[in-house]
Homo-oligomer: A and B are copies of this chain.
Amino acid sequence: MSARRYSHFRRKTFELFEPELGDRIGHYVDWFIMSLIAVNVAAVILETVDALGTTYATAFYYFELFSVLVFTIEYVCRVWSSVDNPQFDGPITGRLEFASRPLLIVDLLAILPFYLTVGGVQADLRFLRALRLIRLFRLLKLARYSTAMQSFVLVIEEKKEKLVLAFSANLLLLVIASSAMYYIENPYQPEAFSSIPRSFWWGVATLTTVGYGDVHPITPLGQFVGSIVAMLGIGLFALPASILASGFIEHAEDDTAKQYCPHCGEKLE
Contact = CB atoms under 8 A, between A and B. Distances in A.
A103 to B, nearest CB: 16
Contacts of A170: 231
A183 B130 CA distance: 7
B231 A235 contact: no
A172 interface: yes
A129 interface: yes
A145 B253 CA distance: 32
Contacts of A91: none
B262 A269 contact: yes
A50 interface: yes
What is the oligomeric copy number?
A: 4
A240 interface: yes
A41 to B, nearest CB: 6
A192 B165 CA distance: 36
A183 B73 CA distance: 29
Contact of A212 (B164, B204, B211, B258): B211
Contacts of A258: 268-269
Nearest to A135: B179
A237 interface: yes
B168 A148 contact: yes
Interface in A16-63: 41, 44-46, 48-50
A266 B206 CA distance: 50
Contact of A175 (B139, B220, B245): B139
A172 B41 CA distance: 10
Question: Which of A139, A208, A226, A262: most chain B CB closer than 10 A?
Answer: A208
A205 to B, nearest CB: 7
Given A46-B197, A234-B238, 9 more contacts: A48-B195, A136-B179, A170-B231, A212-B213, A212-B216, A243-B248, A246-B252, A250-B253, A264-B266
6 contacts: A148-B164, A149-B165, A151-B165, A167-B231, A205-B230, A262-B269
Interface of A: 41, 44-46, 48-50, 129-130, 132-133, 136, 139, 146, 148-149, 151-152, 161-162, 164-165, 167-170, 172, 175-176, 179-180, 182-183, 194-198, 200-201, 204-206, 208-214, 216, 220, 223, 226-227, 230-231, 233-235, 237-246, 248-250, 252-253, 256, 258, 261-264, 266, 268-269
